[in-house]
Amino acid sequence: MKYYLSSRNINPKFRQNEYAPQVDYEVEMLRTALKRMPSTILDIGSYDGRIGFVITDILNYKPKKLYLTDFNPEFLKRCRENKRKDETFIKIKKTDAKKLNFDSSSIDLITALGDTFCVIDREDYNASGKKNNNNATEVFIKCVREALRVLSISGELIFSVDPEYIPDHKDALTDFLDRSSSEEGFSATVKDVQIEWHGTALSSGLPDVERIKKRNFISLKILKKNE
């Protein structure tokens, strides 16, 4: 798979054929976003930097600044270990997706393709994690709102949603954008595509069972926002 031409030490599960549909779609989504020639890119929930390194290694794009961010110090360490000494344009920074430490309208492209907005209040970053917040949809919208604050006019936010975590994400996002339009004069275009593929899942210690996996990939482009 073209995704794995990168020599970085990324999560080995993404080298499995099972994840090919997901990662191939990620690559094409990023390829399209990069046609807008963003000079500043922010990746939220970078883990080991895999999305950032798809941009640099696979798509051969070098922005003026590429921010790899996470709230977990261990994940930030993985990003640093994957970054090369000459890549001074890559900045690694601790940040909270619900309260980004970036100026308003300062980033041209924001990515959160690890379902970051879905799992931000879990004790870990996988389906076995315990929820800390009783309203995942509310947290999801809070993360989207904060990303849009940081996004520049004509910028783009691309992110993924696991519909098992937030089954009502479409209605929640539509309601949020409608309210933002009427109250704040904000407007944006939204593209929401769901892909499906055959995968496996652990079932309480039993052998892996085959299941249909689903993921929504969302592109949100700003048309107008008040500064």
**Which CATH number is 202's domain given?**
3.40.50.150
Burial of residue 204 (number of CB atoms within 10 Å: 0-12, 13-18, 19+)? exposed
Of the candidates 8, 170, 157, the one whose C-alpha atom is nearest the C-alpha of residue 81 is: 8
Q: For the chain, how many structural domains are there in total? A: 1
Contact 109, 55 (CB under 8 A): no
Q: Tell me the two tokens of residue 151.
A: 């996004």
pLDDT averaged per 10 residues in sequence order, the chain, 227 residues? 66 81 92 97 96 94 97 94 96 95 96 90 49 74 94 95 92 93 83 86 54 91 77
Enclosing domain of residue 14: 2-224
Q: Which residues neighbour 222 within 8 Å (Cβ) at sequence distance 6 or greater?
A: 148, 151, 152, 153, 154, 155, 156, 186, 187, 188
* DSSP 8-class letter at 15: G
